[in-house]
């Protein structure tokens, strides 16, 4: 199914948007949601190229690569194309760069803030406008558990992730009367090429380090975080809203 194909609103039972679909919690979220029966409109910077969209969709029934260049653009495309939006996963990604506080670079801080705080707030706003009108919907911000134990040299990254989690909690209070739930899922030690690549951690040395670092003694899997996303969007526990869910194997 090409990104330009049109799906009538009455054929889409449930529609989700996943941003940065090829990185961090994106792959697990896309797989779990499409297997749960969603049409998943997927955003990624690489999808500006038709060849990349075609390659991504191959073998992934229910996943649609969106040519929109921005996460908010993907949200708008979902509403326009399907006439509804049930779940948004704002899967926000930026390198956790080592930057001691005395070396703080305003330009770098602005770039990080744009990716980790401004973008999820904009995605949430776009989704909330539609969901409030419908009287239902689910929004998940993928943040990080790094603020629980900020490491030396990562003050900016940890603070911005904390800000996004706080934003989710505040938005949840505002949107709950309208039937919209909002959560922050805060991973650490999630297997992903972005932060915890398996070629580094799925080695004898890496596994030994993990056993020392956290009670679970292993990386979280894409399947596990995907299942969590499906649960949060299922409607089975909509009294649950405004939480920061630490996906950390007992580390936090």
The three-class DSSP label of residue 100 is coil
Query: What does the pLDDT average to over 23-34?
Result: 98
Q: Max alpha carbon distance in the chain (Å)?
A: 56
Structure tokens at 54: 């075609």
The number of distinct structural domains making up the chain is 1
Query: What does the pLDDT average to over 7-33?
Result: 85
- Domain assignment present for residue 209? The answer is yes
Is residue 10 predicted with pLDDT exceeding 90? no
Domain that holds residue 187: 9-247
- Domain assignment present for residue 220? The answer is yes
Query: What does the pLDDT average to over 40-69?
Result: 97
Tell if the pTM clears 0.85, that is, is over it: yes
CB 116 within 8 A of CB 219: no
Q: Rounded to the nearest 5 degrees, what angle is found at the Cα of 115, between the Cα atoms of 114 and 119?
A: 75
Is residue 6 predicted with pLDDT exceeding 80? no
Predicted pLDDT of residue 77 = 97
- Domain assignment present for residue 204? The answer is yes
Query: What does the pLDDT average to over 88-111?
Result: 94
Predicted pLDDT of residue 3 = 41
CB 141 within 8 A of CB 167: yes
11 HSE (CA, 13 A, CB side): 5
Q: CATH number of the domain that 105 lies in?
A: 3.40.50.720
Structure tokens at 87: 């779940």
More confident call, 40 vs 202:
40
- Domain assignment present for residue 181? The answer is yes
As a whole number of angstroms, the distance between CA 39 and CA 17 comes to 9
- Domain assignment present for residue 3? The answer is no
As a whole number of angstroms, the distance between CA 185 and CA 91 comes to 10
Q: How many CB atoms lie within 10 A of CB 188?
A: 21
- Domain assignment present for residue 4? The answer is no
Predicted pLDDT of residue 40 = 98
Predicted pLDDT of residue 7 = 41
What's the pLDDT band for 205 if we cut at 50, 70, 90? very high
CB 66 within 8 A of CB 52: no
Predicted pLDDT of residue 187 = 98
Predicted pLDDT of residue 13 = 87
What's the pLDDT band for 194 if we cut at 50, 70, 90? confident
- Domain assignment present for residue 224? The answer is yes
Structure tokens at 111: 């770039």
- Quote the crossing angle between the two packed helices 155-175 and 106-113, to the nearest 10°: 30
Based on its alpha-carbon atoms, the radius of gyration of the chain, rounded to whole angstroms, reads 18
Query: What does the pLDDT average to over 91-114?
Result: 94
Q: Give Cβ neighbours of residue 39 (< 8 Å, ≥ 6 apart).
A: 7, 12, 13, 14, 15, 16, 62, 64, 82
Which alpha helices (H) appear in the chain, and where do they start and end? 26-35, 50-57, 71-82, 106-113, 119-134, 155-175, 198-201, 204-213, 222-232
């Amino acid at each position: 199914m090409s990104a330009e194909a049109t799906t009538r609103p009455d054929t889409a039972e449930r529609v989700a948007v996943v941003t940065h679909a090829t990185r961090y919690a994106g792959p697990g979220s896309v797989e779990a949601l499409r297997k749960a029966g969603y049409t998943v409109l997927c955003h990624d910077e690489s999808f500006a190229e038709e060849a990349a969209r075609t390659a991504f969709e191959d073998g992934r029934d229910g996943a649609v690569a969106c040519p929109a260049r921005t996460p908010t653009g993907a949200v708008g495309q979902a509403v326009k194309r399907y006439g509804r939006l049930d779940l948004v996963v704002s899967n926000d990604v930026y390198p956790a760069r080592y930057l001691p506080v005395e070396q703080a670079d305003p330009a770098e801080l602005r770039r990080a803030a744009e990716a980790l705080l401004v973008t999820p707030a904009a995605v949430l706003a776009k989704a909330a406008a539609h969901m409030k009108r419908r009287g239902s919907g689910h929004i998940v911000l993928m943040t990080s558990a790094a603020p629980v134990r900020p490491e030396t040299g990562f003050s900016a990254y940890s603070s911005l992730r904390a800000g996004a989690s706080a934003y989710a909690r505040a938005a949840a209070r505002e949107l709950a009367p309208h039937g919209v739930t909002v959560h922050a899922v805060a991973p650490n030690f999630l297997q992903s090429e972005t932060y915890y690549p398996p070629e580094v951690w799925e080695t004898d040395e890496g596994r030994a380090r993990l056993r020392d670092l956290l009670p679970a003694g292993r990386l979280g899997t894409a399947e596990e975080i995907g299942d969590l996303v499906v649960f949060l969007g299922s409607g089975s526990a909509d009294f649950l809203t405004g939480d920061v869910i630490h996906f950390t194997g007992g580390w936090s």
